[in-house]
């Protein structure tokens, strides 16, 4: 992975959840980020360590995290509930599955 976390204003996560990417965004990674970084995650929740993220966002109120995914979907865990108390955290419903193509694919597999 390219080490741009210390200079990036915005980090957009678009990668699969693998053994290499699991908890990739953790305390060590976040310690190297700008205190004003914006992280956008629309890929997989397990890429981000939610406890480390909470600690970082709490300590850096100008940083932001926007997500369409979370680690324990579809459950709302205590870690997500804590994150949702922060003004610099935004969670949307997992909208990626609401595309026309995804809906058609779900319909196709449901009929098989």
Residue reference for tokens 């390219």: 2
Active site residue 44: yes
Residue reference for tokens 């360590």: 49
CA-based nearest residue to 15, from 25, 7, 5, 6: 25
- Selecting among 6, 20, 28, 44, the annotated active-site residue is 44
- Selecting among 3, 28, 70, 73, the annotated active-site residue is 73
- Selecting among 94, 107, 108, 112, the annotated active-site residue is 94
Query: Measured between alpha carbons, how far is 104 from 27 in angstroms, rounded to an integer?
Result: 39
Active site residue 107: no
Residue 77's φ and ψ, nearest 5 degrees, are -85, 170
Query: Measured between alpha carbons, how far is 111 from 61 in angstroms, rounded to an integer?
Result: 48
Residue numbers annotated as active site = 44, 73, 94
């Amino acid at each position: 992975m390219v080490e741009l976390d210390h200079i990036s204003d915005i980090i957009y996560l678009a990668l699969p959840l693998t053994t290499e990417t699991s908890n990739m965004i953790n305390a060590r990674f976040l310690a190297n980020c700008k205190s004003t970084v914006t992280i956008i995650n629309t890929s997989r929740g397990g890429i981000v360590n939610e406890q480390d993220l909470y600690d970082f966002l709490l300590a850096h109120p100008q940083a932001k995290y926007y997500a369409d995914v979370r680690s324990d979907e579809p459950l709302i865990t205590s870690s997500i509930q804590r994150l949702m108390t922060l003004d610099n955290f935004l969670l949307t419903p997992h909208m990626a599955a609401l595309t026309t193509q995804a809906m058609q694919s779900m319909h196709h597999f449901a009929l098989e």
